[in-house]
Structure 1
Amino acid sequence: MPDSPRPKASVIGPDGTPLTVDDLPSPNTRRWVARRKAEVVAAVRGGLLTLEEACQRYTLSVEEFLSWQRAVERHGVRGLRTTRLQDYRASAAAGD
């Protein structure tokens, strides 16, 4: 049976600097600013954490994490700002 892949030691974070597990937001985080959400998305995308690990660590639903990921893909880190989410949702609903 082959060994399971080892998790990466670091990935490139949303600001372009290396990001390690120690750099990630605390599992007790209650205030989710855009930067913290983007760090978790980058960690999963880069293989630092699996989707399941991130959801368990931060008590997120898969749907919530995927909404963060979509926001980053469509609008960058700024898309994760809660004040912008309604604007982006409204423009998406309008077909923009």
Structure 2
Amino acid sequence: PAKDTRRWVVSRKLTVVRAVVYGLISLDDALETYAISEEKFFSWVDLAAQHGQKGLRATYSQFNRQP
């Protein structure tokens, strides 16, 4: 995704997660380049691992959180 990305659609989230997981970019570089927090990044990783692509949809994570 572009460095100035502000709208994080599923495909962009997945691209960044995969890039870090497969070692194409370091976690630190991803966080700095895309101005995302470590907490947000790892929430994407967890949601993708637990629910696949659909877990990265904003509406999915908003309405399906564990109490």
TM-score relative to the length of structure 2 = 0.94
TM alignment of 1:1-96, pairs within 5 A? 25-89=1-65, 92-93=66-67
Of Structure 1 and Structure 2, the greater strand share is in 1
Of Structure 1 and Structure 2, the greater helix share is in 2
Structure 1 position 87, deviation (Å): 2.5
Moved over 4 A (4+): none
Structure 1 position 77, deviation (Å): 1.0
SS where residue 53 of structure 1 aligns? helix
Indicate the percent of aligned positions where both proteins have the same amino acid: 45
For structure 2, list consecutive stretches of 5 or more residues without a partner in the other structure: none
Asked which structure has the greater CA Rg, the reply is 1
Greater length-normalized contact order (CA 8 Å, ≥ 6 residues apart): 2
- Compute the RMSD of aligned alpha carbons: 0.8
For structure 1, list consecutive stretches of 5 or more residues without a partner in the other structure: 1-24
TM-score relative to the length of structure 1 = 0.67
Q: What is the letter of the counterpart of residue 36 of structure 1? A: R
What does the per-residue CA deviation read over 1:27-48, in whole Å, with 9 as the maximum and x for residues that have no partner? Answer: 1111100110000000000000
